[in-house]
Amino acid sequence: MREQTLKGKTIILGVTGSIAAYKSPQIITELKKRKADVIVVMTEKAKQFITPFTLQNLSANKVITDLFDVSYTPAVEHISLAEAADLLLIAPATANIIGKLASGIADDMLSCISMATLAPKLICPAMNTNMFKNPIVQENIAKLKKNGYKFVEPAFGRLASGVEGKGRLADIDIIINGVIKILRKKT
């Protein structure tokens, strides 16, 4: 079956500090296969789980992390990235980034871009099952949904901690289908 093309689409992929960050190379590969331009924005904590070097090579674009990196051009990188995006995909999304977005906190590159972009946003949570069930996390998700953020539900299964439950990053093909569905509607 021919794959849906994402040619001409710029996708900002936010990667946060979840153990599931090791799956982000697969997400980049699937998006690139469909000819999307993928710009990776990593949090500082995400760098503990996967290297910018790997993601830069797979995406063929500079990986963005530091809000105050003087080498960026133009000077207000987070605004230009926010404007360039056809979609902001955050996968995996930690409880922390979900909390920051729901509270209007913009204290790093990814949260600033999220706040500044008018592009659709697709959030793919991945976390320990108790974290995911935490009423505050659930309230944050509900608040973001109310404000137009789209979510790909995490999956049930064996988590990194060894326990079974809901919290695993959704399957990559479900995430990619979510991206395609949003971008198809947008054009």
Ligand X SMILES: Cc1cc2nc3c(=O)[nH]c(=O)nc-3n(C[C@H](O)[C@H](O)[C@H](O)COP(=O)(O)O)c2cc1C
Binding-site ranges for ligand X (CB under 6 A): 16-20, 43, 45-46, 94-97, 126-127, 131
Report the alpha-carbon distance of residue 7 to residue 33 in Å, rounded: 10
Report the alpha-carbon distance of residue 49 to residue 58 in Å, rounded: 16
Q: Least CB distance from residue 5 to ligand X, whole Å?
A: 31
Of 96 and 114, CB closest to ligand X: 96
Of 9 and 78, CB closest to ligand X: 78
Of 20 and 31, CB closest to ligand X: 20
Q: Least CB distance from residue 172 to ligand X, whole Å?
A: 16
CA angle, 154 then 183 then 49, to 5°: 40
Of 19 and 84, CB closest to ligand X: 19
Of 84 and 131, CB closest to ligand X: 131
List alpha helices for the chain, DSSP H: 24-33, 52-59, 77-84, 95-103, 109-116, 129-133, 135-146, 172-186
**Nearby residues of 74 by Cβ (< 8 Å), 6 or more positions away:** 80
Question: For residues 169 and 20, is the Cβ–Cβ distance under 8 A?
Answer: yes
Q: Least CB distance from residue 17 to ligand X, whole Å?
A: 3
Q: Residue 164, by phi and psi: left (phi above 0), alpha (psi -120 to 50) or beta?
A: beta
Count the neighbouring beta carbons within 10 Å of the beta carbon of residue 35.
12
Q: Least CB distance from residue 185 to ligand X, whole Å?
A: 28
Q: Least CB distance from residue 117 to ligand X, whole Å?
A: 18
> Which tokens belong to 49?
């789980």
